[in-house]
Amino acid sequence: MELIPIGKIHSDFKTKSEAPRQGRLVNNISTIEVFDDYIEGIKEVKDVTHIIVLYWGDQSDRKVIRTKTPFSTTEIGVFATRSPNRPNPIAFCVCEVVEVSDREIKVKHLDALNGSSVLDLKVYSSELDSYPEAKSPDKKLKRNY
């Protein structure tokens, strides 16, 4: 299972320490540059308000299976967290679409480091993807991301 980059992210976050813990917490605008072979695939993104961005966490530690989070005092399984460190570092972020041009999409709330490789974009659907009632260990571990 080999991935190919479909684009590249240009963001304000040049180093890990500059990157937000989660993009929804900041309002920076990032630019998704889409490579030539794929630009026909983004035309209708102008008609959606939110997209799912999958990108590659190339600075992630793929050996981590249990980890502390900013809000946990003990280690928990990575699959119950949003840690960037995990066996397949496919980062996931829901972003607000700000502007779409021929080969670029400007988005709000993306948490990616500058230069990250884009793997996929999908329309976000409130009917499919929105679960306001979802509960995570916030209550026990404060927040597990």
Least Cβ distance, residue 130 to its own copies (angstroms) = 5
List contacts with its own copies (CB under 8 A): 1-6, 22, 24, 37-38, 40-45, 47-52, 54, 56, 65-66, 76-82, 86-88, 90, 92, 94, 117, 119-138, 140-141, 143-145
Least Cβ distance, residue 36 to its own copies (angstroms) = 11
Structure tokens at 143: 């927040």
Closer Cβ to its own copies, 59 or 125, answer by number: 125
Least Cβ distance, residue 15 to its own copies (angstroms) = 21
Closer Cβ to its own copies, 17 or 133, answer by number: 133
Least Cβ distance, residue 105 to its own copies (angstroms) = 9
Closer Cβ to its own copies, 11 or 95, answer by number: 95
Question: Which amino acid, 95?
Answer: C
DSSP string for 99-145 = EE-SSEEEEES--PPTTPEEEEEEE--HHHH--TT---THHHHS---
Closer Cβ to its own copies, 47 or 73, answer by number: 47
DSSP string for 39-99 = GGGSGGGGG-SEEEEEEE-TT--TT-SEE--TT-SS-EEGGGS--S-SSS-EEEEEEEEEE
107 contacts 28 by C-beta, under 8 angstroms? no
